[in-house]
Copies of this chain bind each other. A is one copy, B any other.
Amino acid sequence: MRIGEIAALVGVTSRAIRHYHHIGLLPEPGRRANGYRAYSVRDAVVLARIRRLTELGLGLDEVRDVLADDAGRELVEVLVELDADLARQENEIRERRRRLARLLDGPVSAEEVVSPALAELLGTAPATDSPMAAKDREHLVLLDTTGVGSEVYAALRPLAEDPAVHALYERLDALAAAPLDDPRIVPLAADMAAAVPDEVLAAIPSGGPVMTGFGQALLDDYAPAQAEVVRRVMAALAARVAGRGTG
């Protein structure tokens, strides 16, 4: 048989067969005078074995191992391991499909591909055109992705609907073009720090090199006066944590 014939017989492509030769999975058969590979029935039998094993999901090197030792011992091991692997994959896929179903269930936007808990929290917050509120929502989405956020949603729920919080956002918005010595900075920082519940404060990872860099980047993200407010808020919160730690 030529390569195309054995390929059609067994149901694989000639290209795959040459690949098996290349990696030493299937020995190269003899050649005819014209250089064509000349396959025997035995080659077809081996190739069929390879095909059945790969169709089960075995990798080519696993197939090689199985074909190598004549006994069926190793085969059982490999198959059991393979089944465990397939079971894992199946669970992964199911999990993804569950999340997909939840996403497609409600309204979908690019930003709302988040955990259901955060999706609900963002849903309860009233629509606003405050740039600072929008920024905060982005930060929440960010925290959600890192897995940090999931514990603070409950504590944040009452804040989302609180008109007082809305007012804080508006006061922060108003500082967009303010100078660094604006008199509204200090009291706003105090009010904002006071609005942060203890539960949220406790859940925020306080230290570490990562948070250092993140904190700096966070400040860079705001206008100068607004950044000053954020800085003071963070300082006040840090003081609260320290005070409780020693008190």
Contacts of A53 in B (CB 8 A): 113
CB neighbors of B among A61-116 (8 A)? 66-67, 70, 72, 75-76, 79-80, 82-83, 86-87, 89-90, 93-94, 96-97, 99-101, 103-104, 107-114
Q: Are B97 and A86 in contact (CB under 8 A)?
A: yes
As a 0/1 sequence over residues 114 to 150 of chain A, the CB contacts with chain B under 8 angstroms (1 = contact) are 1000000000000000000000001101100111000
Q: Give the interface of A toward B (CB within 8 A).
A: 1-2, 5-6, 8-11, 39-42, 44-45, 48-49, 51-53, 55-57, 66-67, 70, 72, 75-76, 79-80, 82-83, 86-87, 89-90, 93-94, 96-97, 99-101, 103-104, 107-114, 138-139, 141-142, 145-147, 209-210, 213-214, 216-218, 220-221
Cα A45 to Cα B109 with chains together (Å): 15
Chain B residue nearest to A113 in the complex (CB): B52
Can you identify 27 A-B contacts, CB atoms within 8 angstroms?
A1-B217, A2-B213, A5-B210, A5-B213, A10-B142, A10-B145, A10-B146, A11-B145, A11-B147, A41-B138, A41-B214, A44-B217, A48-B146, A49-B110, A49-B111, A49-B141, A49-B145, A56-B99, A56-B113, A67-B110, A72-B108, A72-B110, A75-B109, A75-B113, A79-B103, A82-B100, A87-B97
Contacts of A90 in B (CB 8 A): 90, 93-94, 97
Q: Are B1 and A45 in contact (CB under 8 A)?
A: no
Extra contacts besides A66-B110, A75-B108, A83-B97 (19): CB < 8 Å = A5-B209, A6-B213, A8-B210, A10-B146, A40-B221, A48-B142, A52-B113, A53-B113, A55-B96, A56-B100, A57-B96, A72-B109, A75-B109, A75-B110, A79-B103, A79-B108, A87-B97, A89-B93, A90-B94
Which 6 pairs across A and B sit closest by C-beta, in order of nearness?
A5-B213, A48-B145, A72-B109, A1-B213, A41-B221, A1-B217
Cα A71 to Cα B94 with chains together (Å): 27
Q: Are B83 and A9 in contact (CB under 8 A)?
A: no
Q: How far is the CB of A177 from chain B (nearest CB, A)?
A: 20
Q: Are A141 and B48 in contact (CB under 8 A)?
A: yes
> How many copies, total?
2
